[in-house]
Amino acid sequence: MVINSTHKADLKSWVEAANEPMCSFSIQNLPYGVFNSNENLEKRIGVAIGDHVLDLNMIEKAGLLPTPKPAFNKQSLNTFMAMGPKIWSKTRKIISQELSNQASDFRGFSNVLIPLKDINLFMPFMVSDYTDFYASREHATNVGTMFRGADNALMPNWLHMPIGYNGRASTVVVSGTDVKRPRGQIKLPGLDAPVFQPSQKLDIELEMGAVVGTCSDIGSSVSVDQAQEMIFGYVLLNDWSARDIQVWEYQPLGPFLGKAFATTISPWIVTTEALEPFRVYGPSQNPAPLDYLKQAAPHNYDIELEVHLQSTIISKTNYQNMYWSSAQQLAHHSSGGCAMRTGDLLGSGTISGSNPKSMGSLLELTWNGENPIELDDGTTRTFLKDGDTITLSGYAQGDGYRIGFGYSTGSIKPPSSRP
């Protein structure tokens, strides 16, 4: 990707709300989502612009977009994502030009712009597979210190490769979906055997999700730079975690049911191209990675992130501090010959900063429940209670414009009755 006319800071749209400096959906952004409206229940694909969504199905049917076959009358973005970076970029350029041109052909269509307040949003893509990584050095150090001590916080392999595990695509859900408290085996203090009960240490993980657009073949691998080109875009991601289930089950093979019950993503995919002006170098990597993981170009992003528990901001951090970039994660994922598919989702792992208020999980924020946090209403939390609502938000701030991700929100509901 390169900086081009779609990134100009002084670019303005005839959709006036998009020109407000704090508007998440500026003309420099143009994120994709799947929606319907009260007037038209058909699910289709659109782009958020200001306080509206642009109906791309209508524009495509008129022959005004460069897609080689219909892609925006679908219930997911997978068809469009599979078309690759050249089509992605051409489509973005046309949409940008038309939304900034007062004489735009788009303005001739009635109902091509629908107020965001009048739409419903759905899963933006069909998740092929889901892999979650463990790529923040601060998070890995905090958790390692908590359970193994400061002298053995990082395992020997952590500084040499992105550590990950295969999650469950079946339980990736879109923002606004309720999350039921999971049940599982839990080893309580003082008991010789585990019990089966609802989790009492229900947690969140503030993450970004990289959405893979193009494929790689089984038996092949991709470089870090090739991986960068394969990533269509990014979403906010909350990998809900039952810590008391996880701590009993994870040895020796790693996370399983403690993380398999729900993963919530935001409904708008912010494209890699929209984020191009915000690429930055991550932390210095020492020891130097093996050759297949070396990156000559910056592959991290300057994205401000927040976690709200109800109305209280409990964490603020930035995506740029991740030790392993999403491009490195994808390159490593394919390095043994694993085929990557359109719609694969790569979770960054919990994003934590270097100060106590920048940690991306309650496990860290409360130090496994030892230090409760106080909410604005005067109540305290160590882990989540039924009825709690968690909202993730994020944006990249340009010169007079903003690239916003919207929200990833979920509310905790009581567990289902046992069969």
Report CA-CA distances (Å) from 5 to 89, 173, 276, 397.
11, 34, 12, 18
Over the stretch 363-380, which tens digit does the pLDDT of each residue have?
999 999 999 999 999 999
pLDDT of residue 2: 87
Q: Does residue 365 contact residue 356 with C-beta atoms inside 8 Å? A: yes
Residue 339 phi, psi (nearest 5): -75, 130
Strand 195-198, strand 402-413: pairing:
unpaired
For residues 207-212, average pLDDT: 98
The DSSP line for 89-104 is HHHHHHHHHHHH-TT-
Active-site residue flag, 7? no
Mean of all residue pLDDT scores within the chain: 97
Closest CA to 317 of 299, 304, 300, 301: 304
Burial of 8 from C-beta contacts in 10 A (0-12 / 13-18 / 19+): middle
Q: How far apart are CA 352 and CA 136, in angstroms?
A: 6
pLDDT (tens digit per residue) in 62-105: 999 999 999 999 999 999 999 999 999 999 999 999 999 999 99
Catalytic residue, from 139, 299, 332, 333: name it: 139
- Nearest to residue 132, comparing CAs of 349, 328, 331? 349
Among the ranges given (123-132, 148-157, 275-284, 308-317), the one the predictor scored with the smallest mean pLDDT:
148-157
Domain positions in the chain are 5-122, 130-413
Model confidence at 418, pLDDT cuts 50, 70, 90, reads low
Question: How many CB atoms within 10 Å of residue 281?
Answer: 12
Rounded CA separation 230/236 (Å): 18
Burial (CB count within 10 angstroms: exposed 0-12, middle 13-18, buried 19+), residue 361: buried
85-105 b/e (C-beta count within 10 Å ≥ 16 → b): bebbbebbebbbebbbeeebe
Q: What is the pLDDT of residues 338-360, one digit of tens each?
A: 999 999 999 999 999 999 999 99
8 A C-beta contact, residue 271 and residue 92: yes
Class of domain 130-413: alpha beta
Residue 417 banded pLDDT, cuts 50, 70, 90: confident
Q: 5-122 adopts what CATH topology?
A: SH3 type barrels. (2.30.30)
Could you identify the residue written with the tokens 């020492």?
A: 286
DSSP 247-302: HHH-TTT---GGGSS-EEE-S-BEETTTTGGGEE--S--SSPPPGGG--SS--EE-
Ordered alpha helix ranges (H), 54-192: 56-61, 78-81, 85-100, 137-148
* Segment 388-395 mean pLDDT: 98
Output the pTM of the full model: 0.97
* Beta strand pairing call for 231-239 and 270-271: antiparallel
